Amino acid sequence: MAWKEAIVDAFDVFGPASLAMVSLTEAIIQPVPPDVVYIPLLLNEMGNLNVVVWLWLVVTLSSVAGSFIGYLIGQRWGRTLIQKFGSSAHVGKIEALTQRYGTFGIFIAAFSPIPYKVFGWIAGMGEMEKRPFFAAGLAGRGLRFGLEAILIGVYGSQAYDALMWFLDNEILLGALLIALGCLAFIGLRWWNNLSVESKPQA
């Protein structure tokens, strides 16, 4: 997509640090996933294990660092914005959400097409504990980027084509995943609330 290429070109002036810059800023606010820089670099460096491990560390750690900046933004200004444009009840709901599903939610966002940055903001607003926030982010991002490196190493250009198709449709896939999650939640609530009427005895 043209807008993705424009953002990647803008960061390209930083040279090898482009991967870290894209990864860091994507986890805060910008929409281009670091994979569009990371995957071509992996393809070029296949066979050089030290460089591949270095790229994996750079993209993972910079992404988690960016999400922590998003966390701090949500912690500093998120509540004020919600209280200004919404109600104080929303703050309580966000706190309950991060306390109940925080670690699992951050892991899913870090691994899946769901925007990772949004969960960083929400975690900050909900005052989620930092240690599980970091742990979930490192696990999810490390697994996602590590899996991409393994796929490129095993399947080469075939994996590259498949992963780039996935990235071109990431927003749609993320929306579909969220919709399926909502449907599953509604279905589970319906099942749990389903009452069984006792038959009258003859």
3 state SS for 111-128: HCCCCHHHHHHHHHHCCC
Residue matched to tokens 């820089």: 37
Three-state DSSP at 199 gives coil
Give the mean pLDDT per block of 10 residues along the chain (202 residues): 60 75 90 85 84 92 95 85 61 66 80 79 86 92 92 77 67 61 72 58 53
Residue 201 lies in a domain: no
- Could you give the number of structural domains in the chain? 1
Do residues 26 and 37 lie in contact, with contact meaning Cβ atoms separated by under 8 Å?
A: no
Q: How many angstroms separate the CA atoms of 82 and 89, rounded?
A: 9
Whole-prediction pTM value?
0.72
The answer for residues whose C-beta is within 8 angstroms of residue 151's C-beta and 6 or more apart is 159, 162, 163
Domain for residue 199, yes or no? no
Q: Is residue 155 part of a domain?
A: yes
Which domain range does residue 16 map to?
Answer: 2-191
Kindly give the interhelix angle for 18-26 and 49-73, rounded to the nearest 10 degrees: 30
Place of tokens 């927003």: 171
Please check whether residue 86 lies inside any domain of the structure.
yes
Please give the radius of gyration of the chain, using alpha carbons only, rounded to the nearest integer: 20
The verdict on residue 40 lying in a domain is: yes
The verdict on residue 99 lying in a domain is: yes
147 in any annotated domain: yes
Does 172 fall in a domain?
yes
